[in-house]
Amino acid sequence: MGGSLFADAVPAVGESKVIDGVTYHQHDVIIVGAGGAGMRAAIEAGPNASTAVISKLYPTRSHTGAAQGGMAAALANVEEDNWEWHTFDTVKGGDYLVDQDAAEILAKEAIDAVIDLENMGLPFNRTPEGKIDQRRFGGHTRDHGKAPVRRACYAADRTGHMILQTLYQNCVKHGINFFNEFYVLDLIMSEVDGVKKPAGVVAYELATGQLHVFQGKAVIFATGGFGKVYKTTSNAHTLTGDGVGIIWRKGLPLEDMEFFQFHPTGLAGLGILLTEGARGEGAILRNASGERFMERYAPTIKDLAPRDIVARCMVQEVAEGRGAGPHKDYVYLDCTHLGAEVLETKLPDITEFARTYLGVDPVVEPVPVMPTAHYAMGGIPTNNNAEVLSDNTTVVPGLYAAGECACVSVHGSNRLGTNSLLDINVFGKRAGNNAAEYVKTAEFAPLPEDPTAEIRGLIEMLQSSTGTESIAAIRKELQEEMDRNAQVFRTDESLGKVTQTIHGLRQRYRNIAVQDKGKRFNTDLLEAIELGFLLDLAEVVVFSARNRKESRGGHMRDDYPNRDDETYMKHTMAYLTGDPHSADAADHIKLDWKPVVITNYQPMERKY
């Protein structure tokens, strides 16, 4: 399939053609992922260039739809606010590991991002005057930390769901090409004039088991997070880090992978999320004796401290014997004083979740909660234009990333609530605009002679496997070990245990059995591939966490409890340099550092 004969056979832009059993497509812009970031990018790119959006799910099933509480923007509709306060809160909330130029962009462009969504038809809650209503959220303050502020724009407690529906409707309006239930399994890179750039992606069609090659001038990754490395998580079963894992296997770096956020209010034992918007409306965290314990830890903003602080305080309450329940292993979220009207109108989903999954009615009794793995602050390194970096500064031409899979870094070591829905809109928009501009002058990079060879070999190996190991058993052991030893509190000893477990699971992974040998809707096969990504990413998280001998944001080291700005005020950059099956992670992972961009706010002690 090489040379000019193959070039002549490639379909025209926007068309497809079957060659040797593989379907080839050609579009100017290829977007991988149809959540908020992917569809926001598509709305910008679609009217200006031939755009294809490839999603492992039907777009409105993407995990953006699970986001509940709101989207931050200093609209000042309810009380005085401005984007500079929002910038400061983002930097301070991220424990000063935030790149401050990116935070300024986020806060400045937040206002237009909300108005864009309103103009697209998103049904925000309204004030009596008809303006977009706003409520409080953790870590968002007025006057640089003096008091909580109402900054979160919201649609009840299903804001993410509304954003997803609105973006999809607008993508349909623009005639965007969607390829739903296609799993992207490989990024095709080509060298042109000594520079590596994306040539396209290889995808597996779930309905048929056929492989597809999407050739594009620009590729945008918007594939979401990888919370399924943990057992107790708010993340859906599909959040297995495929996009981040693909980038990792291509030898491109990952940034700040040790920083994972544990949302304070997951339903105890289940991890199903109860929005921080509940505390924004006035809900209170209490221990077994009914004490409002956050007053001791964050006297100014109490229950609305940033998520990393609240999660640690909850775990500490339990560790010190003040937990509730028969095993004293959770605390309470008390909403009873809010009244039925507030709960049923402003927080209807979480009210129903508590009733359905725990049999608890928040109107009359407190809800058992504990932290749940929620959000990856780290991921694919990008600059402020959403361009992917191959080192600290070098751009990979034509390759973009946005949303949770990307690390701008606008969240630093701890993301503020409501900044994620903002992130996907601000940087999704930037990715789409910049990709559309790039393809105006770029050429298609050449495809290799057999672009599906690697993935076809992987699929054939897995389907012909006669192994005895269970995919589900390996995944369960990985998730339980990560919960046990790499969650809210970590030590070198605990992280060392996870490292040994992952190495053992890698050896067992070589002997997995894929029971389903068919082609149509073979989820058994895809879960085997996803497990490979989970093992890769869990190892990078743990290896980076062992290397950062300090406590900062979502990374709390019991053996190094203090923040160490002199040594660690810098981003971790991890590179895959060898065979991941080697016994010592240091044999195949190399760590480097990247400076933090500081503009207006020098690192200070975080007091709330």
227 known ligand binder? no
Q: Is 33 annotated as a binding residue?
A: yes
Tokens of 91: 């930097």
Long-range pairs of 390-393 with CB within 8 A, sequence gap ≥ 24: 390/196, 390/252, 390/253, 391/253, 391/573, 392/573, 392/592, 392/594, 392/595
- Give the DSSP per-residue string, 133-175: PEEEEEEEEETTTTEEEEEEE-STT-HHHHHHHHHHHHHHHTT
* 207 carries a ligand binding annotation: no
Total Cβ atoms within 10 A of residue 166: 20
Q: Is 16 annotated among the ligand-binding residues?
A: no
Is 415 annotated as ligand-binding?
yes
Going by C-alpha positions, the residue among 422, 531, 428 that lies closest to residue 222 is 428
Q: Is 374 annotated as a binding residue?
A: yes
Amino acid at 492: D
Asked if 94 contacts 443 with a C-beta cutoff of 8 angstroms, the reply is: no
SS3 string, 42-59, reads: HHHHCCCCCEEEEECCCH
67 is in an annotated binding site: yes
Q: What is the DSSP code string of 251-280?
A: T--EE-TT-EEEEEEEETTT--B--THHHH
Looking at this protein, which amino acid is placed at residue 57?
Answer: L
Residues whose CB is less than 8 angstroms from the CB of residue 605 and which lie 6 or more positions away in sequence, other chains included:
none
* Residue type present at position 521: F
Amino acid at 321: G
Task: Flag whether 68 is marked binding.
Answer: yes
Q: How far is it, in rounded angstroms, from Cα 44 to Cα 209?
A: 31
139 is in an annotated binding site: no
Residue 190 annotated in ligand binding = no
Answer whether 178's CB lies under 8 Å from 171's CB: yes
Residue 66 marked as a ligand binder: yes
601 marked as part of a ligand binding site: no
Residue 58 annotated as binding site? yes
> Residue 155, annotated ligand binder?
no
Residue 36 labelled as part of a binding site:
yes
User: Is 240 among the annotated ligand-binding positions?
Assistant: no
Annotated active-site positions, please? 307
SS (H, E, C) 469-523: ECHHHHHHHHHHHHHHHCCCEECHHHHHHHHHHHHHHHHHHCCECCCCCCCCCCH
Query: Is 571 marked as binding a ligand?
Result: no
544 is in an annotated binding site: no
Give the residue numbers of the binding site for FAD: 33-38, 55-70, 242, 404, 420-421
Annotated binding residues, as ranges?
33-38, 55-70, 242, 263, 275, 374, 404, 415, 420-421
Could you list the residues known to form a binding site for substrate, using ranges.
242, 263, 275, 374, 415
